[in-house]
Each structure stands twice: as structure tokens, then as C-alpha cells.
Amino acid sequence: MDFKELLAYKKAFDLSMHIFNVSKGFPKEETYSLTDQIRRSSRSVCANIAEAYRKRRYPKHFISKLTDADGENSETNTWIDFALACNYISSEDYMHFSEQGKEIGRLINYMINNPGKFGVKIEG
């Protein structure tokens, strides 16, 4: 299987693209701060899931990269909070992004807690 087929990756990619499209409407003065940060962290979730999958031969690396993905997902959620507080996104977008982020977090944690289901050889 390719990492692009992982549900966590697909959902994280979709969220990242939704954030990208909505963030196009952020004020110009946010270009190098909130806009850049929210785009980077949301994209990093996908990148870390991809790296984790390619490192599944090494259980500790697999879990470490997924932990990074989970951290980036939490960071994205924080930036979404700021976007709402600054009135850059609607409460509907906020709720949608927030729910997607929670689901992605659950999927990442499932992978962390069940590495054997993703091709990781657990010694024991």
C-alpha cells in the first residue's frame, strides 16, 4: 500500500487544502504570520504521516514521526482558534476544521497504538 491510501493521510491532505483555500482570504498583513503558519502546520501533518509510513520498518521511528504529525495537527488547531478569534473564518468553517482535526488526531493515535496493522514489525 502507498501512504497516500492511508485514511489519516487523505483526511489531513483534504483539511490542508481546505485551509489553503480559506486562508487565501486572510488579510495581507497576515501573509508572513498566521497564513504562513496555518498552511505550514497543516501540510506538515501529511508530510509526517508519509515519513512515518516509509519508516515503518523501524517501530520507534514510525511512532516518532506519527507523534510529530499529531503535534502539527494540534498546532493547526491552535491557528484555527486564532483565525476564528480574528474573524478571518466563519464559525461554520471553524467547526468543520475543528471536527476534521479531531478525527485526524484519532486516526493518527490509532496508528500509534496499532503499528502492527500498518506493516510495522513489533518484536516481543
pLDDT in tens, the chain (124 residues): 899 999 999 999 999 999 999 999 999 999 989 999 999 999 999 999 999 999 999 999 999 999 999 999 999 999 999 999 999 999 999 999 999 999 999 999 999 999 999 999 877 6
In a domain, 77, yes or no: yes
In a domain, 122, yes or no: no
Long-range contacts for 115-119 (Cβ within 8 Å, ≥24 apart)?
115/56, 115/59, 115/62, 115/63, 118/6, 118/53, 118/56, 118/62, 119/1, 119/56
Domain count within the chain = 1
For 64, other C-beta atoms within 10 Å of its C-beta total 16
Which pLDDT score is estimated for 121? 86
In a domain, 123, yes or no: no
In a domain, 10, yes or no: yes
CATH of the domain at 108: 1.20.1440.60
Which range of residues forms the domain containing residue 80? Answer: 3-116
Q: How far is CA 45 from CA 24, 41, 63, 98, 103, in A?
A: 20, 7, 14, 15, 13
In a domain, 67, yes or no: yes
In a domain, 25, yes or no: yes
In a domain, 121, yes or no: no
